[in-house]
A = this chain, B = another copy of it.
Amino acid sequence: MHPRYARIADELRAAILGGEIPVGTPLPSETVLAARHQVARGTVRQAVAVLAAEGLVGSRQGARRIVLGRERSQNFAVLHSFAQWARAAGHEVTGQVIEQRRRTADAAEAARLGLAVGDPVLRVLRLRRLDGAAALLERTVYAGWLAPAVERLPADCDSVTQALYESRGLVFAYGEHLIDAVAAGSEDARLLGVRRGGPLLRQRRVTTTREGRPAEWSDDRYRAGSVTFAIRNAAGALAVNPPG
């Protein structure tokens, strides 16, 4: 069973998304919500903190909380798994490994993955399609301890994240992401079907397990127009999601 505050948050979120509490109007006060749900005020505060982190409501000391938006943020899942985001958004995702081989870590890879130079790693080049159209080129380096599990995956595996969770119970819990724009190189242009020198959205990321162990380092390039990152921030609390 979900904890109490999560259920209260769900109920409030549904009310906001459903338009029962319109954008710009104040939420009921914490005291009122606490009485209505028969809980302590602290529990209500946990619930609204969730909504604030999603960017749905804002708050100022002394005044009632205000509804800021009507779009749900999927939080973080997005940045960890392209496939899981795309499916949730109703798109069809396919993937194809183009190249895969073991190597030893160079200085940059070792630093990113917390390894020593020369430690074994697995490099994978993967092309992903969104509704049939080439959308994303992933150049991923997996830490050596992950290599066997990744190599066992089929070449057309749609969701690596999900496959690793199911086969090894592995969860990519934390991540650091660098986002910028770059010109398409010749390989990028050929595989993504764009002009060389044209715009690509680049996301470089390091993903870490729940234990804090770096698992993968990746350079992902999205064809312009295929994906948009959405970030909502509410004075300290942030949420991320890519809308259609």
Q: Which residues of A contact B (CB under 8 A)?
A: 23-24, 53, 55, 58, 60, 66-69, 75-76, 79, 114, 173-184, 195, 197-202, 208, 210-213, 222, 224-225, 227-240, 243
Complex interface: chain B residues within 8 A of A237 (CB): 53, 237-238
CB proximity of A86 to chain B, nearest CB, Å? 16
Complex interface: chain B residues within 8 A of A235 (CB): 76, 173-174
Q: What are some 15 contacts across the A-B interface (CB < 8 A)?
A: A68-B208, A69-B176, A76-B235, A173-B234, A174-B233, A174-B235, A176-B230, A178-B243, A179-B229, A180-B225, A195-B197, A197-B199, A231-B240, A233-B240, A238-B240
Per the bound structure, the CA–CA distance linking A69 and B234 in Å amounts to 23
CB proximity of A188 to chain B, nearest CB, Å? 11
Per the bound structure, the CA–CA distance linking A104 and B62 in Å amounts to 35
Per the bound structure, the CA–CA distance linking A235 and B66 in Å amounts to 25
List the 6 closest A-B pairs by CB distance, nearest first. Answer: A199-B199, A66-B212, A181-B201, A238-B238, A181-B181, A76-B233
Given the interface contacts A211-B66, A224-B183, does A76 sit within 8 Å of B236 by beta carbon?
A: yes
Is the CB–CB distance between B68 and A232 below 8 Å?
Answer: no
Complex interface: chain B residues within 8 A of A76 (CB): 233-236, 238
Is the CB–CB distance between B228 and A180 below 8 Å?
Answer: yes
Is the CB–CB distance between A178 and B228 below 8 Å?
Answer: yes
Complex interface: chain B residues within 8 A of A222 (CB): 181
CB proximity of A48 to chain B, nearest CB, Å? 14
Q: Nearest residue in B to A200 (C-beta to C-beta)?
A: B181
Complex interface: chain B residues within 8 A of A240 (CB): 231, 233, 238
Q: Nearest residue in B to A197 (C-beta to C-beta)?
A: B198
CB proximity of A229 to chain B, nearest CB, Å? 4
Complex interface: chain B residues within 8 A of A175 (CB): 232-233
Per the bound structure, the CA–CA distance linking A161 and B53 in Å amounts to 23
Per the bound structure, the CA–CA distance linking A24 and B210 in Å amounts to 11
CB proximity of A68 to chain B, nearest CB, Å? 5
Q: Nearest residue in B to A225 (C-beta to C-beta)?
A: B180
Contacting A177 at CB < 8 Å: which of B225, B233, B236? B233
Contacting A58 at CB < 8 Å: which of B60, B79, B195, B210? B210
Complex interface: chain B residues within 8 A of A243 (CB): 178
Q: Nearest residue in B to A172 (C-beta to C-beta)?
A: B235
